[in-house]
Structure 1
Amino acid sequence: MTTPYAEVIGNPIAQSKSPAIHGFWLSALGLAGRYDRALVETASPADYITARRTDAAWRGCNVTMPHKQSVMPLLDRLDPLAARVGAVNTVIPAEDGTLTGYNTDVPGFWEPLAGRSFASALVVGAGGAARAVLAALADAGVATITLQNRSLAKAEALLAEFGIAGTVEPIGTAGTAVDLLVNTSAMGMVGQAPFPLDLLGRVRETGVVYDIVTSPLDTALLIAARQRGLATVDGLAMLIGQADHAFRRFFGAVPPRERDAELRKVLTA
């Protein structure tokens, strides 16, 4: 019997932690299956999708940059959330051969914030990751959203697309206090420009600082936030959270989240 498998596609793809996450859960549950990486170098993943449609062992794939939007027209249907976000990060085949696109980044982002209430949020960056974050904040009823980005026009267009009557500012702008600061940009990542730490001055003492960067995991932003006594959430929280929703669809099982601490040790070894 052919082993069922799922995988993650992107370019580059060697850095992805998804195989380690799904592999850990498959092993922990004793399930027959595997999770691979697939480098898709072309601008469109059309050839990849065509080939996988006829593979009976294929249970679907996660999609990372730069294919989260280019994969959408290749699918037969979109989950309403994925359509609203304008990005797909999970593709699932049905028994009739049709493919459906989902976005698990939205619930993955919000998972570590569940149970909290935020009246205001400052989001830095207006790229693909910001789309999922803005959707999650809008769904959670965050009343006041400020979006900082190098291109103000891009930020304004993104807020308009999501129907958010928010404020747009240049990156690093000082302003009113917020309950939540989220870095969706590459700033602070290895080899990238540093994050403007002065923005921490805008976070209320009871606020949360969330950095979705995973390399390094403990960013300068998170270190500085903890030094100020602020609650923090790192990039692995979103990564593991979104993988949870994808794993359930790929393998029809609930991942053993009670072993998250052990999984984190594997991912950071």
Structure 2
Amino acid sequence: MPATLAPPSAAQPDVPSAIGQLVLLGHPVAHSLSPRFQNAALRAAGIPLTYRAADVAPHALPGVLDALVAARAAGNVTLPHKEAVAARCDLRTPLAARVGAVNTYWCTLDGALWGDNTDVAGVDASVRQLFGGRVPAGQRVALLGAGGSAAAVLAAAESWPDARVRVWSRTRERADALTQRFPAVAHAVDALADALDRATLVVNATPLGIRPDDVLPAPPAALGTDAAVLDLVYRPGETRWVHAVRASGRRAIDGLPMLIAQGAASFVRWFGVAPDTEAMWAAVGGRPAGSS
């Protein structure tokens, strides 16, 4: 059913009911670190729930969501379901409606399925970390990809002072459709080189890098000498692209800081309290190089 874009109200309270399950939806999802750090946060908070991952093929998603609503579940959503879950939600926060993708969901007392997007907060936190605590004015951003994660990057970029984003996707139509929703900060380009030209921040919002044999999203030699890189993909030991960019003398972080930040924001959505982020980081082996 179409999502209703109304903001929270007394009739549809923006709070979860008593949560029966915590479930991450994705396909594939076995590689996800979310169960590891969310369960550490639950233990630290003394919350008697277990967070689990469910590999759900796209054709099975509607039935799985119906069952989760009946079980008063809450949880997260990862590729490739963020946009489909947004469409299924009865209600979405204004930010989730803006992005058009949901990565955090919960059920309210009346059985409504709510969706939010905490990826935006995760992107913003990661970029601030990359630049030492704040986003310098006038960022020229090369954004690779045009899916739900790319939309979260553009929503974050709307808050960065005087930021401008060039969006490149292998499918120009997808890049055009995305940038038309964020015309104040973004425009689409035809070629990867056009996006990278004079970019001060390069963001990989494609799946490239999930597999160790993937090609790099962009060769380090094609980046400007002062360009910094945020790779939204994460792998144990960080991604090959992050290592290659750092070896070229440029700043780079992978998607793990973003994953932790969005997971912490989700935890607040579900329980109304901040999680123990040190316990979350400890569960995944501590902070990666370049983190603070």
TM-score for both structures, normalised by structure 2: 0.80
Contact 2:39 2:50 in 1 (8 A): yes
Q: Once the 2 structures are TM-superposed, how far is the Cα of residue 174 of structure 1 from its aligned partner?
A: 7.4
- CA drift of 1:42 comes to 4.1
**Superposed CA RMSD:** 2.5
Is 2:48 the counterpart of 1:32? Answer: yes
**1:200 Cα deviation (Å)?**
4.9
Structure-2 residue corresponding to 1:262: 282
Task: Tell me if the contact between 2:37 and 2:280 (Cα under 8 Å) persists in the aligned partners.
Answer: no
Secondary structure (helix, strand or coil) at the match of 1:194 reads: coil
CA positional deviation for 1:165: 4.4
- Of the three residues 210, 230, 238, the one matched with 2:258 is 238
- The structure-2 alpha-carbon separation of the partners of 1:155 and 1:174, relative to structure 1 and needing over 3 Å to count, comes to closer
Q: 1:81 Cα deviation (Å)?
A: 0.7
1:153 matched to 2:208? The reply is no
> Aligned equivalents of 2:153 and 2:189: distance in 1?
15
User: 2:51 aligns to what SS in structure 1?
Assistant: strand
Q: Give, as a single letter, the amino acid of the residue that structure 1 aligns with 2:54.
A: A
Tell me by how many angstroms 1:104 deviates: 0.8
> Match for 2:94: what amino acid?
P
Aligned to 1:202: 224
Name stretches of at least 5 consecutive residues in structure 1 with no aligned partner.
none
Q: Which residue of 2 aligns with 1:116?
A: 135
Q: Report the 3-state secondary structure (helix = DSSP H, G, I; strand = E; otherwise coil) of the residue aligned with 2:246.
A: helix
Tell me the SS of whatever aligns to 1:71.
Answer: helix
Length, aligned pairs only: 263
CA contact (8 A) 1:174 1:199 kept: no
Trace 1:184-199 onto structure 2 (pairs within 5 A): 184-190=205-211, 191-198=213-220
Residue 73 in 1 paired to residue 87 in 2?
yes
Structure 2, unmatched stretches of 5+, are: 1-17, 129-133
TM-score, L = length of structure 1: 0.86
The alpha-carbon distance between structure 1 residues 28 and 200, as it changes in their structure 2 partners (threshold 3 A), is farther
CA distance 1:197–1:209, change in 2 (3 Å): same
Q: Is the alpha carbon distance of 1:77 and 1:203 closer, same or farther for their aligned partners in structure 2, counting shifts above 3 Å?
A: farther
Residues 24 and 166 of structure 1: CA distance in aligned 2, closer, same or farther (over 3 Å): same
Residue 93 of structure 1 corresponds to 107
Select the residue among 37, 60, 67 that pairs with 1:21. 37
2:83 maps to a residue whose letter is Q
Q: How far is the alpha carbon of 1:86 from its aligned partner?
A: 0.7
Sort the Cα spacing of 1:51 and 1:260 in 2 relative to 1 into closer, same or farther, 3 A.
closer
- Conserved in 1, the CA contact under 8 Å of 2:198 and 2:224? yes
Displacement of 1:237 in angstroms is 0.8
**Pair 174,132 (structure 1): closer, same or farther in 2 beyond 3 Å:** closer
